[in-house]
Amino acid sequence: MSIGVKNSENETIFKQKGIYGRFIKRPMDFVLSLFAIIVLSPVLLLIAILVKIKLGSPVIFKQKRPGLNEKIFTIYKFRTMTDKRDENGNLLPDNLRVTHFGNMLRKTSLDELPELFNILKGDMSIVGPRPLMVRYLPYYTDEERHRHDIRPGLTGLTQTSGRSYLGWEERFKLDNYYIRNSSFVLDCKIIWNTMLQVLSKQNIANIEEIRGDEKGTYLYHEGKIFRRLDVERSDKLCAKK
């Protein structure tokens, strides 16, 4: 459940309300993430060894992401790309550095397992809007910025509703729907649907769909191009001028 309140600038801010949002969700995240880390520790160790052998060091990919109230934190993932560079020493585009092993980790979502430590620390939740790039912050509308009113999630409504193949506006609408309607029942449904999608490997980009051009890496699926938010919205601004 949620409630909309007004601040001094007459902006609507969505605050979680109810026993679940205020008192249960965070303790439940802590207990479940700790349990998962203990149970999955052999899997985490095995993947770490394979990443070290196949991709080298570092095993863990670290990147800054905005979290609750846009506070920047470091997200952890298993590495899925090499450090291949061109003749000038610059990193090659993502589509040329993702290996088949790395793509397998992505398709099975095994690369996301280190985020359990983010949940344990309190940076993230099990369910919530996915944490996006810091560079995207200037491109959000006021409504879209509400995705940072709660902790970002390991999975979320967007991930069970199309994942890689949704446009940005549709993703943000789903994020805000979740914020307004967050509940124990909805979280359980999202977790269950996430497990089904991972097992069926639905809506997960293949390595062949990752491409690149002068604007950077993009996803090409069934005739549609999905670019980074900053690139897409910069293009729209230029088109209006």
What confidence tier does 17 reach under pLDDT thresholds 50, 70, 90? low
Q: Is 60 exceeded by the pLDDT of residue 109? A: yes
pLDDT of residue 177: 94
pLDDT (0 to 100) of residue 217:
81
What are 52-71's pLDDT values in tens digits?
Answer: 999 999 999 999 999 999 99
Residue 123 gets the label, from left (phi > 0), alpha (psi -120 to 50) or beta, of: alpha
pLDDT score recorded for residue 90: 81
The domain segmentation of the chain, as residue ranges, is 2-207
pLDDT in tens, 224-237: 888 899 999 987 77
- Vertex 140, ends 139 and 144: CA angle to 5°? 165
Which of 49, 23, 158, 163 has the alpha carbon at shortest distance from 101? 49
Higher pLDDT among residues 16 and 97, named by residue: 97
Count of Cβ atoms closer than 10 Å to residue 130 Cβ: 20
Whole-number percent of the chain with pLDDT over 90: 60
Which segments of 97-191 are extended strands (E)? 125-127, 153-155
**What digits encode the pLDDT tens for the residues 138-189?**
999 999 999 999 999 999 999 998 877 899 999 999 999 999 999 999 999 9
**Whole-number Å distance between alpha carbons of 107 and 90:** 27
At 19 the pLDDT is 85
Q: Which of 19, 195, 33 is CA-nearest to residue 109?
A: 195
Distance CA 122, CA 124 (A): 5
Kindly report the length of the chain. Answer: 241
pLDDT band at 1 (very low <50, low <70, confident <90, very high): very low
